[in-house]
Amino acid sequence: MVEIAGLAPIRFDAVKDAFAANFAAGEELGARFTLVEAGEIVLDIWAGHADRAKTRAFDDRTLTPIFSTTKAIAALMIARLVDAGKLDYAQTVASLWPEFAQAGKAEITVEQVMSHQEGLSGFPERMEPAEWFDWDAICAKLAAMAPIWPPGSASGYHPITFGYLAGEIFRRVEGWNMGAALREELAVPFGLDIWIGLPDAEAGRVAELQRPKALPDFGHLNAATKAAFLTPWAQPGGLGADVLRRFELPSATGYATAQALARVMGALANDGWLDGEDILSPALIAEAARSRIRGPDLVLPFEMSWGAGFMRNETVHPWGPGDETFGHSGWGGSCAFADPERKLGGAYVMNKQSTDLLNDSRPRRLIEAAYASL
């Protein structure tokens, strides 16, 4: 029987039981699940091991790679620029980044980029995986690239390129990197254990991943999916794990605890209030979460509804019953969500990865048990 630590009030016994059952079934190595209701942490549980050899406990200081769950944080950082009047979702990307107007992209808007509609899901042409680590070179390639599909006609999930697009928009507005801004504006002031790119000083806290033995089922093999996921150069590589860990990529190199993610998403579910301060106005939360496009995604094998960087719950429902719930999932199973109808935020992180692209059964069981307990 796995030993579960943390905060687990009696009303959430069913969640605790589901958490234990995930471990008993051999589906977990180490994991954590946190819920924030009306700004208060009401459940925060963890268990298991932070390494494959099972010599190091998964505890309240363990950081996990959250992969694409990082995109929820990137969406928040962009939304804060809009809230401050420094950016408009409806303005063209080329108005900030003139080079982006190449190859017929002059009219593409910020919100089209944030909702995966502009057609740059990956690079079809051969490149070296190490080239991803040259930020300026990748942004130049994206600026020069012709869209893979007509912009605005469909969404096509951007697993890696989203981070460069959103990150460069942020940098063009603010003059510095999104990861550094996250630390200074939110993480340090509010004690949030969230990072985009992790320095060496924090590396000892990172959970070791147990990767799946198979690829996810993408359902369809078109040009957009192949460029996004299925080429040898589809993701950064070739320079070692430490270089990747340190690299600030707002689509993929996030590290966090479930508690930190749940506190952020709990704020977005609670009119933007975090520890008595407003990190995003209620109007901007609604605007960032508003659906920009809904329909079959060209990359993910689902009907998707996309906000401005956020996945919306209304189609696949990975995060409870609410159609207005929004958030993001990451490769292997992590997720973070905000339910403004119930003022509930939650997050799940783990280090044993599955092949599920969005609807991982482990957090789904926990979330369903949580809603039944409310």
Catalytic residues, by residue number, are 68
Q: How many CA atoms lie within 13 A of 144 on its CB side?
A: 8
Buried b (16+ CB within 10 A) or exposed e, 288-317: bbbbbbeeebbbbebebbbbbbbbbbbbbe
Residue 307 makes CB contacts below 8 A (sequence gap 6+) with: 75, 114, 115, 288, 289, 290, 291, 292, 326
Q: What does each C-alpha distance from 280 to 89, 134, 211, 264, 283 come to in angstroms?
A: 15, 32, 36, 10, 8
Buried b (16+ CB within 10 A) or exposed e, 9-37: eeebeebbebbbbbbeeebbbbbbbbbbb
* Bridge partners, residue 352, by sequence: 210
Q: Using CA atoms, how far apart are residues 358 and 360, in angstroms rounded to an integer?
A: 6
Transcribe 227-263 into DSSP letters: HHHSSTTSS--SS-HHHHHHS--TTT-EEE-HHHHHH
Are 250 and 163 within 8 A, CB to CB? yes
* Bridge partners, residue 109, by sequence: 92
CB atoms within 10 A of CB 372: 12
Q: Using CA atoms, how far apart are residues 109 and 122, in angstroms rounded to an integer?
A: 18
Are 39 and 270 within 8 A, CB to CB? yes
